[in-house]
Structure 1
Amino acid sequence: MQIGVHLGFQNLHGMPDMEFFRKETQIAIEAEAMGFDFAAMVEHHFTDYAACPDPLQALSYVAAKTKTIKLMPAAVILPWNDPVRVVEKVAMLDSLSEGRVILGMGRGAARREFNGFRKDIADSRELFDEAALIIMDGLETGTVKANTKHFQQPEVEIRPRPEGWTRDRMLMVSMSPSSAEVAAEYGLKALRFSQGDWSHSMKEINAYRSTFEAKHGKKAPPFVISDFVVCVDTEEQVAEYTDEYFAKQFYQVANHYEWGGEHFKNMPSYATYVALGDAMNAAGGPEKAYKDYIGGNLIGTPAQLIEKDAMRKATVGDYDIIANFSYGGMSYDRVYDQMKRFADKVMPTLRESASAEPVAAE
C-alpha cells in the first residue's frame, strides 16, 4: 500500500490567504520526513472551500524542498486547462523533480468554477475525454496535436521533452459510472473520494476492474482513496474533532458542489451528485447523510483506523490512500499532531496488511 497526504487548501481559519497558503503547503514538505509516499494537491478556484488554483506550480515549490516524495496533482481539472500547457507544465515539474510526478486528472463538478472559466458544466464529459487522450499521448510521445470537437491543436513538440511516461504514472478521478468507464477504457488508475458505505460502490468498482482487464489484458491496479482523517488518542477526542472540524468540512463540500442541484438532473454523467442530494433529502436528511459520510472516511483512534482499514480491504480489496488531515479550520498544531500519530502508529500496519479478495457486487 502506498500512503500519501492530500492537501485541500480549505481556508476556514480566518488567517490571510498568503499566510494560510504557506502553512498548508508546508504539510507536503513535512510529509516526506514522516515517511509518506505522496504529496497530493487539489485544483480549486474562487472560494475558501479549496484555494489552490495551480497544484503543479505549488508542487514545484515542494519539489525544491524535498528529495523523494512523489508529487501528485490530484487533480488537474482538464476542462479548465489547455492540454498543451498541462503537458508542458507536467514535463517541466517531472524534469526538475527527477521523475517524481504522478499525474492526476479530473473533470470538475462545481458549477461556480465552470462559470468562472466561462465553460459549460454540461460539456465536462466531452472536454475531459478529449483532453485526457491529448495529454496522455503528449506525455508518452513528446508531441501534442489534436483535431477534435473541442480542441484543434497544430502539431507541436514539447520542451523539456517528457521522459519515461506511461499510463502507470497517470490516474483520473472516477466518482461516477461514466468516469469509471473512461478510466478503464483509457487504462488509468482510478481515484475515488470517501463519501459513504463502500459496499454501495462495489458494482461500479467491479465494472471498472472487469472492463480494465478486458481492454488491457491485465489486472486493474489498486485504486486510490482520498480520505479525510481523524487520528487521535481517545474516543472523546474523536467526538471532539468530528464535531468541531468534520461537520464544517461536510457542509462546505455539500454547498460547494450543490449536492442535489437541479442542474445535475439533466446530466447523467453526474448521477453521483444527484444521489448525494437525494440522500440529503431522504429519511434522516442531512444528519443521516453526514453520519454516512463520516462512516466512509478514516476517523478514530489508531486502533480503530487499523480495524477500519481491514474492514474496508475486505470490501474493496487493495487500495492506496491520500489522507487529508487539514480541514474545517483545524489548527496546524493539531494537523501535524494527527499526521505524526498516523505515521507512527497506523501507517506501518496498513502497509503490511494484505487484503482478502473483495466482495462481489450484487
Structure 2
Amino acid sequence: MITPWLFDIFNYPFDASPGSFDAKALQDLYDWHLESWEVAEQAGFEGLFFSEHHFTPYSVSPSPNLLIAAAAQRTTKMRLGVMGNIVPLHNPRRLAEEYAMLDYLSHGRLEIGIGRGVDEKEFGREGIPMAETRPRFEEGLRLIESMLYNPVFTHEGTYATYEPTTMWPPPLDRDRRRMWITALSPQTIQWCGTNGYNIATAFQPTAQLRAVNDAYKEAAKAAGQPHGPDSTMILRNVYVGETDEEARRIAEPALNRMFGLYKEAVMFQDLDHIPDGYDSQFYESFFRPFAGDGPVYWDALIDLGIFVVGSPDTVRESLIKQAQELGTSNILMWASFGSLTKEETISSYRLLGEHVIPALREAEVV
C-alpha cells in the first residue's frame, strides 16, 4: 500500500514587499486553507504535515504547531504533524511540551517531524552559527525524547541541563514512536538509518533518490534498525487537473511563484562557499539546478519526477511508479503551492480523492 500524505506550507501569494502587506488577503488565505483540510480528509489523505520557516513570505506559518491545534478541531481522522520543527531554532523543552499537549488536542493523531534546518538567513538572524546546527539538533532531539518517554527525565548537555524533572502534561502515550526526520545530506541519511528514525526527503530526482534510500536501508540494516517501505517518505509537488493541458496551465504559474520565493528564502547565498558544518559538495549540487535568474525547465523537472502534474491518469501512474521504484510506501504531496487559489486547490484535492488515492492504497510496494 502507498500511503498518501498532504503537505501545506502557506506560500504568501500576494505582493511580498513589507509596505504592501495585505492583512485581509492573508486572513482569507488562512481561512480557506482550514476549509481545504476538511476536503483533504474527505478525499482520503492519511495525514497532514505543515512546514516551519521564519522572516519570509515563502511561508507564513512560523509557528506551525498552532496549525496542528487548529486542524485538530476541523478534522477527526487525519494524522497531524510538522515536517519539520527546526530544533536548533527552539528551546527543545518547549517543543516536547507542545508535542505532549498536541497529543491530547488531536486525540492521539500527532506525528512528530523534526529537522536540523538549512536556511542560512534564519539562523543568521537568530545569531546561531551554522556550524552549531548539527550539535544543537542532536542534543535537542535527545532532550525531547528523554522528556516524552520518561516519567522523570534528566539531561546534561552543552546547551541545556536538567536535574530530575517531570513534564506536565506527559504525552498521551509514552510508548516510543518513530519520529520523522527531514533528511537531505548523505551524513544525515546515514545517521537516521543508524539511529532508527524515519526519513522524509525532497527535491531530488527519482533516480538519485534510489541511492539515498539504499544508503539509508543499508545503514539501518547494519545497526539492526527497521528499514522497510514504511520508513521512508518522498515529497513531490502534485497538481491534478481534468487534463494534462489544464493541469500544466494552472500549475506552472503557481510553481513559478513558489520557486521565486524558495530561491530567495531557502538557498544558500553563495553556492561556491557553503557554510561550515554543511556538506559543501552535496548542497552545491542540490541547490545548483534552482539557482540563477533563468527560466525553470518544467518538462525536465517533470521528467525527473520532482513535479507530478497532469490528469488523474498521469498523476496516478507517476506516483505509483516512483513509489515502487524507490521502495517507499509514503508519498507526501505538496498540493497547494505558490499562487494556487482556493478553487484550484480544492478541485485538485477532490480529483486526487476520486481517481488517485484509492489506487495508491491498492498498489503494492516491496
1:305-316 alignment, distance < 5 Å: 305-316=315-326
Q: Which of 215, 234, 252 does residue 243 from structure 1 map onto? A: 252
| Partner of residue 279, structure 1 | 289
Q: Secondary structure of 1:112's partner? A: helix
Q: Give the 3 Å change call, closer, same or farther, for CA 340–2 of structure 1 in structure 2.
A: same
| Partner of residue 55, structure 2 | 46
1:89-238 alignment, distance < 5 Å: 89-193=98-202, 195-220=203-228, 221-238=230-247
Give the aligned CA root-mean-square deviation in angstroms.
2.4
One-letter amino acid matched to 2:364: A
Quick one: distance in 2 between partners of 1:213 and 1:265?
Answer: 32
Q: 1:196-248: CA deviations, max 9, x gaps?
A: 32111222221111111221354343312222111111122132123211122
| Partner of residue 79, structure 2 | 70
| Partner of residue 9, structure 2 | 8
Q: 1:303-338: CA deviations, max 9, x gaps?
A: 111211232134201321221221111111111001
Structure 2 residues not aligned, in runs of 5+: 16-21
Once the 2 structures are TM-superposed, how far is the Cα of residue 76 of structure 1 from its aligned partner?
A: 0.8
| Partner of residue 360, structure 2 | 350
Q: Give the 3 Å change call, closer, same or farther, for CA 198–265 of structure 1 in structure 2.
A: farther
Quick one: distance in 2 between partners of 1:301 and 1:207?
Answer: 33
Q: Give the 3 Å change call, closer, same or farther, for CA 162–265 of structure 1 in structure 2.
A: closer
Q: Give the 3 Å change call, closer, same or farther, for CA 30–165 of structure 1 in structure 2.
A: farther
Quick one: distance in 2 between partners of 1:246 and 1:281?
Answer: 15
Quick one: distance in 2 between partners of 1:132 and 1:290?
Answer: 39
Percent of aligned pairs with the same amino acid: 21
| Partner of residue 19, structure 2 | none
Larger RCO (CA under 8 A, 6+ residues apart): 2
| Partner of residue 291, structure 1 | 300
Quick one: distance in 1 between partners of 2:298 and 2:355?
Answer: 30
Contact 2:240/2:348 (CA < 8 Å) preserved in 1?
yes
Quick one: distance in 2 between partners of 1:268 and 1:47?
Answer: 22
Q: Give the 3 Å change call, closer, same or farther, for CA 142–121 of structure 1 in structure 2.
A: farther
| Partner of residue 350, structure 2 | 340
Contact 2:47/2:79 (CA < 8 Å) preserved in 1?
yes
Contact 2:263/2:290 (CA < 8 Å) preserved in 1?
no
Q: 1:41-86: CA deviations, max 9, x gaps?
A: 1111111101111121221111122222111111111011111111
Q: Give the 3 Å change call, closer, same or farther, for CA 110–175 of structure 1 in structure 2.
A: same
Once the 2 structures are TM-superposed, how far is the Cα of residue 263 of structure 1 from its aligned partner?
A: 4.3
4+ long deviations beyond 4 Å = none
| Partner of residue 18, structure 2 | none
Quick one: distance in 1 between partners of 2:83 and 2:174?
Answer: 17
Give aligned pairs, total. 354
One-letter amino acid matched to 2:183: S
Q: Give the 3 Å change call, closer, same or farther, for CA 288–306 of structure 1 in structure 2.
A: same
One-letter amino acid matched to 1:7: D
One-letter amino acid matched to 2:355: K
Q: Give the 3 Å change call, closer, same or farther, for CA 148–325 of structure 1 in structure 2.
A: same
**TM-score, normalising length: structure 1:** 0.89
Quick one: distance in 1 between partners of 2:232 and 2:215?
Answer: 13
**TM-score, normalising length: structure 2:** 0.88
| Partner of residue 360, structure 1 | none
One-letter amino acid matched to 1:292: L
Once the 2 structures are TM-superposed, how far is the Cα of residue 96 of structure 1 from its aligned partner?
A: 2.2
1:24-63 alignment, distance < 5 Å: 24-63=33-72
Q: Which of 329, 340, 347 does residue 330 from structure 1 map onto? A: 340
One-letter amino acid matched to 1:315: E
